[in-house]
Chains A and B, each alone.
Chain A
Amino acid sequence: MRGARASIIIVSVVFAIVLLQSVFSSLLAPHPFSPYFGLPFVFALGTAPGTRVLRGAVTAFAIGYFYDFFTGNPLGLHTFVFVVGYFSAWLIGYLLSFRGIVFEMVLTFVLTVLLGGLLELIRGFTPGGIARSGGTLTIALFASAFATALLAPILFALVRGVDPESERAPT
């Protein structure tokens, strides 16, 4: 039950952050350095040794679902990408034993670029979707990933604070 409660808190925190980001868009999302606040939460859950895979995936699903509503994208877009992001982080966490602030930042940067690219790729297939030029898209992807990576240690720590069990080794 503690894990479920922690997941609800994490989803609520992401919801609040996304809400604030949409209200204070000029302050919290300066173009092109607008961070993906939701992704580091998903990565943190994916790499946390004590988080059950099922709970982490459901939490990522819920966070993605909120993102779809707030960003006005087709239902399923962020949900899918966030679940994919969770599994990717889980896989990397499973394969690598290295942890720390540098790991969190690098992981966040790389995965944000890849998942951002995936998002844009899917968006490109959307009828009436916004087509962006390669240069603009690359700058936006890397700038956004950079901003997200800078914030990653704080958000990872936030997840650890909310969900202390995530740091325990699985029994």
Chain B
Amino acid sequence: MNYFQTIRDAAILLALLIVPAVFLRANLRDPSELSWLDRALLQVSGPVQYVAEWAADGVTSIVEDYVYLLDVKSDNDHLRAENDRLQREMRVLRSDVQRVRELESLLGLRERMATETMTARVIAKDISPSFRVVRLAIDQGEQARVHAGMPVVANQGLVGQIRRVSGRFADVLLTIDPESRVDVVVGERRARGRLEGLGERGRYRCRIQFDRMDDRVAVGDEVFTSGLGKKFPASILIGTISKVGDQELGLHQEGEVTPAVDFTRLDEVLILTSGPKDPDAL
């Protein structure tokens, strides 16, 4: 190594120590106290620093994005599981909302009814091969002093009556059952008649036999309990006339009634445990 090379190396080494010190001094000084040399140094170092920082930030963000991508799968699995759980909870909540609505509806019916009532839950349904309900069992029985003949209603209308009580449960005789008999009035003219179930396995239908041949009834007229015999309180909706028989034929005028109650969807019912307190109030 010759003399000049040694001097050059020493100068470079000195510069390596002095240059950062000078830059550092310029960076550390209060902006109001900067000399022309400091300002010049900062002007030189600023763009260089900006470009280098931009490059460093770019590399950092690429690496960080990649690292974050590694977590995406686990995050995705976690979110999917969370989503499934929330979906399940939502289904349960929807079901609860439906039940609450039914109970509110029953509560409203209970308040409208001027009789003593008892809430019961449907615990079993006998289904026909055509997927129609032919029998209901409810969770109130002897302990609740339920007995045969008590009317059973839902918010939509009359369901039927208690057929028999077995221990803590009771069977309900539906209005569509062939054994069911209910005295009814129809439409605004209050045409009187007797309703009996048709017992059809493929559809919910009842037959109505009017007392008078000349009673004017039409399809769509609403059918209510008459209150006659005090077995059922008056004015409970049973359904609507869906077909009217030929008035020229037979001894009695007949028609078909579609029940207002959808027996398939029944979950809660009311048992009327006493006769009407004030029949006029119904």
Contact = CB atoms under 8 A, between A and B. Distances in A.
Contacts of A69: 49, 52-53, 56
A53 B21 CA distance: 19
Interface stretch (B10-18, B136-144, B254-262): B10-18
A126 interface: yes
Contacts of B22: 76
A49 B20 CA distance: 26
Interface stretch (A36-44, A56-64, A102-110, A152-160): A56-64
8 contacts: A23-B64, A53-B13, A65-B52, A74-B27, A77-B27, A80-B21, A84-B17, A122-B28
Contacts of B13: 53-54, 57
A138 interface: no
B20 A19 contact: no
Contacts of A64: 20
A87 interface: yes
Interface residues of A, number: 29
Which of B24, B49, B67 has the most A CB atoms < 10 Å from its CB? B24
Interface in A87-102: 87
A69 B67 CA distance: 21
Is chain A's binding surface mostly helix, strand, loop or mixed? helix
Given A74-B28, A75-B27, A83 B20 contact: yes
A23 B60 contact: yes
Contacts of B30: 127
Nearest to A86: B16
B91 to A, nearest CB: 40
Interface string B45-67: 10001001100100110011001
A74 B19 CA distance: 13
Contact of A80 (B20, B49, B56, B63): B20
Interface of B: 9, 12-13, 16-17, 19-25, 27-28, 30, 45, 49, 52-53, 56, 59-60, 63-64, 67
B67 A23 contact: yes
B12 A19 contact: no
Nearest to B57: A69
Contacts of A80: 17, 20-21, 24
Contacts of A60: 16
Contacts of A54: 9, 12-13
A45 B9 CA distance: 17
Contact of A23 (B12, B16, B63): B63
Given A23-B67, A61-B20, A84-B17, A76 B27 contact: yes
A74 B25 CA distance: 10
B27 to A, nearest CB: 4
B24 A75 contact: yes
A52 to B, nearest CB: 8
Contacts of B27: 74-77, 126
A61 B16 contact: yes
Contacts of B25: 76
A113 B45 CA distance: 29
A79 B23 contact: yes
Interface in A121-166: 122, 125-127
Nearest to B24: A76
B246 to A, nearest CB: 89
Nearest to B5: A54
B183 to A, nearest CB: 82
B17 to A, nearest CB: 5
Interface string A1-37: 0000000000000000001101110000000000000
A167 B113 CA distance: 103
Contact of B49 (A57, A58, A75, A83): A75
Contacts of A127: 28, 30
A53 B45 CA distance: 26
